[in-house]
Amino acid sequence: SLPDQSPDITQQVTATSREPRSRASSSTCLAANANPMPSEVPPPATIARNCSQANANLIMMRCVPCEGDGDEACANCGKLGSDAVKLKNCNACRLVKYCGVDCQRAHRKKHKKACKKRAAELKDEQLTPPTDNDTDTLAMVQARVAKNDPAAICFLGKKYFFGDYGLKKDMERAVRLWEEAAELGSVDALFSLGNSYDLGDGVKQDKAKAVAFYAKAAMQGHVDCRHNLGYFEGKKGNHDRAVRHWLISAKMGGEQSLELIKKFFRAGFATKEQYAEALKGYQDAVEEMKSHDRDEAKVYEFS
């Protein structure tokens, strides 16, 4: 249901973006009170970077079977694996096992967060598979960099930015790598460049260039860059333009954009129709992602 319109904003307003340079995928929130876009709220790049450092050492959430013998039991019903009960791994994350499609579907809501996190980690591991030491891993990345792989170049930029893998922290070099990756088509590199110019990390601070990079990535479907464009418009008092950006990102599954539209609606800066449109678009996007999960369940095979 739609919230009652009210000029009072006492709840937290979230202006956040997922930082592709971080070692953690989650984001953090900043509070705002009387004004939907108060001057004291740091830019989204600051929020993302602070979050990435704070969450870098968090242990990955795992789904634990409700009963039974650890990983050899169905994560939903706890039924033990046996000759009669053949357990199958979750195809996306391979963290848990299920005795059948029905249990997999029933457990999906509880498992989804950990599943998506682990699936993203597995994808990252394809780029940098585990090795005995950082030197070997770095060599693998650099081999792909030599082949002009934009994802590898962007990834190497992250490592120079944070000083990982034994590399000396070098923000300027990170920026040069992101520029190269962006020229080769990396949208995440555009996002990182936007954040760098936003905060002046490795380059002279230039808000206009930051917005230009965010805009270029947003036009290629980068949800968080689209959200950030709305943030900057809101900071300038261009409430209608901010809402239009957030409508787009909310319809792409941007939960924080939906939340800001709701806050703007309550403050009188967005219409009831705009909030309703954003809510429906967000729900449709979430449902579409759920449809992908159902497709995975359909290919679940039993021996």
* pLDDT at position 49: 52
Which amino acid would we find at residue 38?
Answer: P
C-alpha pair distances (Å), 230 with each of 46, 124, 145, 187: 16, 29, 34, 18
How are the residues of the chain apportioned to helix, strand and coil, as percentages rounded to the nearest 5?
55, 0, 40
Q: What are the residue ranges spanned by the domains of the chain?
A: 66-127
* pLDDT at position 294: 52
Percent of the chain at pLDDT > 90 equals: 48
The answer to whether residues 37 and 231 touch, using CB atoms and an 8 Å cutoff, is yes
* pLDDT at position 126: 72
- For residue 163, the 8-state DSSP code is T
pLDDT digit string (tens) for 44-90?
Answer: 565 455 444 333 332 222 233 333 344 578 888 888 878 788 888 88
pLDDT digit string (tens) for 259-299?
Answer: 999 999 999 999 999 999 999 999 999 888 775 555 555 44
Low-confidence ranges of the chain (pLDDT < 50): 6-34, 38-42, 47, 50-70, 298-303
Task: Pull the structure tokens for residue 154.
Answer: 């962007």
